[in-house]
Amino acid sequence: MIDSRAIIDPKAGLSSDVHVGPFTIIGPDVTIDSGTWIGSHVIIEGITAIGKNNHVNHHAVLGAAPQDLKYRGEPTKLTIQDDNIIREFTTLHRGTPGGGGETKIGNRCMLMAYVHVAHDCHIGNEVIIANAVNMAGHVTIEDFAIVGGMCAIHQFVRIGRYAFIGGATPLAQDVIPFGLVAGPRGELKGINIVGLKRRGFESERRDLLKRVVRDLIGSEMNVSQVLNGLKDEGLYDHPDIRELMDFIRQSERGLCL
């Protein structure tokens, strides 16, 4: 159902069962797939593709131009996949040519009120981002991560799978997969035990990850020595450890430790 008070450009592509609330404005280059619910006073503009069964609450702004002084109106885009919840006053900006041209939200994510997703950010699947999280451009948040409320995330930071970020934590460096980072300096405190249990990680997997993280933050070895030790033990063949080691080696901003 489309409310008669909504303003929808005739060039926009909406599936027949999309709900659009009053005073919402949808631009000509927007596509919205079946089952999606759009509340009131929402603005959706630019080249924005919204998938199936999304729920976009009142006063959200999707697909606005990036806040980047280098942007000159190029045809970049915002892509939102399926089954996401986007709460009130959330802002998602489209990409820039220098960042690949696309901001992307995966499947089954929840973005709580007042979240800001800047240009060229990539959010994976089943990610939870709590109220008033603000991220700069080019941030990557991988699958199953949880970001606590009021976190500020520096540009180009990468957050690994299954990570947990405590509320009001500033992030200027990468967060390892499975890790728990918190505090006013964004420090690695251990592994995300509660989250891993909820995701079905058996005790043996958790204990191994706990040992590796303990070596990273509690031993006299540096990161390279820890990684070399894991390789010497043959643990690179373990998929969790391989993921952790590869993430660390690929980090360009350094790690929250």
Task: Quick: pLDDT tens for 49-99.
Answer: 999 999 999 999 999 999 999 999 999 999 999 999 999 999 999 999 999
> For residue 69, what are the CA distances in angstroms to 73, 98, 190?
11, 12, 38
Residue 116 lies in a domain: yes
Q: In total, how many domains does the chain have?
A: 2
The alpha-helical segments, DSSP class H, found in 91-202 are 193-198
CATH number assigned to the domain comprising residue 30? 2.160.10.10
> For residue 169, what are the CA distances in angstroms to 134, 135, 152, 173?
11, 12, 7, 12
Catalytic-labelled residue, pool 119, 124, 138, 174: 119
Asked if 120 and 204 sit in the same domain, the reply is no
Per-residue pLDDT of the chain (257 residues; tens, 9 = 90+): 999 999 999 999 999 999 999 999 999 999 999 999 999 999 999 999 999 999 999 999 999 999 999 999 999 999 999 999 999 999 999 999 999 999 999 999 999 999 999 999 999 999 999 999 999 999 999 999 999 999 999 999 999 999 999 999 999 999 999 999 999 999 999 999 999 999 999 999 999 999 999 999 988 889 999 999 999 999 999 999 999 999 999 999 999 99
Catalytic-labelled residue, pool 137, 160, 179, 186: 137
What range does the domain containing 15 cover?
Answer: 7-138
Q: What is the pTM of this model?
A: 0.97
Count, residues in the chain: 257
Asked if 30 and 116 sit in the same domain, the reply is yes
Residue 149 lies in a domain: no
User: Does residue 119 carry a catalytic annotation?
Assistant: yes
3-state secondary structure of 141: strand
Asked if 116 and 216 sit in the same domain, the reply is no
Task: Quote the CA–CA distance of 186 and 257 in Å, as a whole number.
Answer: 8
Asked if 134 and 35 sit in the same domain, the reply is yes
Asked if 100 and 210 sit in the same domain, the reply is no
Task: Quote the CA–CA distance of 154 and 158 in Å, as a whole number.
Answer: 9
User: Does residue 120 carry a catalytic annotation?
Assistant: yes
**116-117 vs 110-111, strand pairing mode:** unpaired
Adjacent-strand bridge partners of 93 = 64
Asked if 11 and 122 sit in the same domain, the reply is yes
- Which element (helix H / strand E) includes 241? helix 239-250
Q: Are 97 and 115 in contact (CB under 8 A)?
A: no
Catalytic-labelled residue, pool 82, 120, 174, 240: 120
User: Does residue 183 carry a catalytic annotation?
Assistant: no
